[in-house]
Amino acid sequence: MVDNINQQRRSVLKGAISASTLALVAASGLLLPQRLLAHWPSDAFNAETVEDALLALLGQAEIADDAALQFKVGSPPSYAVNGASVPIEIRSGLAKIERIAVLVDKNPFPLALSLEMTPAMKLPFKSMIKIAEDSEVIAVMRVNGKLYKTSRFVEVDIGGCA
């Protein structure tokens, strides 16, 4: 009888220990893949307006609307047949660019790309993005605490945010 109770006690203890270990591991975040990506700025990427996304990513700064940032969207410019892959190209004569962001106004989540530059890197930068419908596409770069912003309106034949 005593043996039997002891046996039960053991298994209860064992269960409790493994449950608490699991809870600890889960709490420490080792099981969550997000943990690895803690540096991904989810606030900025999940923002639903351009303003929120910019604020979350680049912070508050004076915006200088400037020709220092050359920006091309679509090919031919400002037109895209297929919104699922629209070429973009960013050029600038400025040095020491800290960050560049590309946003699409009408997309469900406007922020498309964010580049963190080092001095070794040089523009032009080219890539392809998805654009849901005819929309303003905005490029913002942060240089020396100042933001430079340029936008282009792009017509899209087939929306590409599926």
Partner 1 sequence: MGLVKKDRIRAKLKSGETTIRVLLAHPMHTGRGEDDAGNLIDAEFIQDIRCWRNDEEVLTIKCGTATATNPYFSFQLIDGEQGDQITIRWVDNLGAKGTAETTVK
Q: Which residues of this protein are in contact with partner 1, per CB under 8 A?
A: 33, 36-37, 39-41, 45, 84-86, 104, 107-131, 160-162
In the chain the first and final C-alpha atoms are separated, in Å, by 66
Minimum CB distance to partner 1, residue 129 (Å): 5
Tell me the C-alpha distance between 113 and 115, whole Å: 7
Residues in the chain: 162
CA torsion sign for 66, 137, 130, 87 is negative
Q: Quick one: 67 or 162, whose CB is closer to partner 1?
A: 162
Q: Quick one: 13 or 38, whose CB is closer to partner 1?
A: 38
Q: Quick one: 2 or 36, whose CB is closer to partner 1?
A: 36
Minimum CB distance to partner 1, residue 111 (Å): 5
Q: Quick one: 69 or 112, whose CB is closer to partner 1?
A: 112
Q: Do 137 and 154 contact (CB within 8 A), yes or no?
A: yes
Report the SS3 class of residue 70.
strand
Minimum CB distance to partner 1, residue 97 (Å): 11
